[in-house]
């Protein structure tokens, strides 16, 4: 089974992005440092130090939300979101500074919002960034209960001297492999399709642990910030 069979067409997304790249680039000013295509966008701060870069990224947790809804567990996806975004700027050597979230739902469910925000706050504290704001949108007709959407924006900083863009990679460099805690936040549309086709339920007992399969799938996306700091002590 291919990813596209689960309803996710990456090639179509790439094609759409290619068509709008010049439109997006037309908004760039002299403070923009990077082009499109990186995990995060970088810019200088007008009036600030020229060697200090702002690093910004936005992401979501995808259809992992559907499993969270099925299991009634919501604090894990909040942590997923923060740690995912920390990784997106971390690959460029950046330290997280600020985080904002968006929660959209058809009808406000306090238990969902509370669980998500608790997860966001837990991960923000662990990563040393401030959850400074966000938006909770109640949009009947756009979202159908119990479905909701969760998106986050992260802002960090990095000095030019330690900024990583992969351009210096060469033969002979060391490659470090760091274990994950599962699928993190990618590929869940395919996972859900496989479960559906095989008639597997999320509340079935996992054959490799004392938890259910749903609980295993909701394992929190780990943050690699500590490992990145250890590898780059000057960060």
What are 154-173's pLDDT values in tens digits? 999 999 988 988 888 999 99
The domain ranges of the chain are: 65-160+182-226
Confidence of residue 128 (pLDDT cuts 50, 70, 90): very high
Using 50, 70 and 90 to split pLDDT, how confident is the model at 176? confident
3-state secondary structure of 50: coil
Tell me yes or no: is domain 65-160+182-226 CATH 3.30.1330.10.
yes
Helix-helix angle 75-90:110-127, to 10 degrees: 40
DSSP state of 4: G
Looking up tokens 């395919």 gives 190
Q: pLDDT, tens digit, for every residue of 216-235?
A: 999 999 999 999 888 875 44
Cis bond upstream, residue 146 (ω within 30): yes
Q: Which two tokens stand for residue 215?
A: 């609980």
């Amino acid at each position: 089974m291919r990813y596209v069979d689960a309803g996710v067409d990456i090639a179509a997304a790439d094609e759409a992005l290619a068509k709008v790249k010049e439109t997006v680039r037309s908004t760039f000013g002299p403070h923009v440092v990077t082009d499109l295509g990186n995990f995060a966008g970088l810019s200088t701060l007008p009036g600030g130090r020229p060697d200090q870069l702002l690093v910004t990224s936005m992401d979501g947790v995808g259809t992992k939300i559907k499993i969270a809804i099925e299991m009634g567990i919501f604090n894990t996806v909040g942590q997923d979101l923060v740690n995912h975004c920390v990784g997106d700027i971390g690959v460029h050597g950046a330290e997280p500074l600020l985080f904002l979230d968006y929660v959209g739902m058809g009808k406000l469910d306090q238990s969902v919002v509370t669980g998500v925000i608790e997860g966001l706050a837990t991960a923000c504290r662990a990563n040393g960034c401030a959850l400074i704001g966000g938006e909770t949108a109640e949009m009947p007709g756009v979202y159908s209960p119990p479905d909701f959407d969760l998106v986050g924006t992260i802002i960090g900083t990095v000095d030019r001297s330690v900024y990583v863009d992969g351009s210096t990679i060469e033969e002979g460099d060391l490659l470090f492999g760091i274990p994950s805690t599962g699928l993190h936040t990618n590929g869940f549309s395919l996972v859900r399709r496989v479960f559906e086709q095989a008639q597997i339920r999320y509340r079935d007992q996992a054959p490799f642990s004392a938890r259910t399969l749903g609980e295993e799938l909701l394992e929190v996306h780990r943050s690699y910030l500590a490992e990145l700091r250890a590898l780059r002590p000057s960060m």
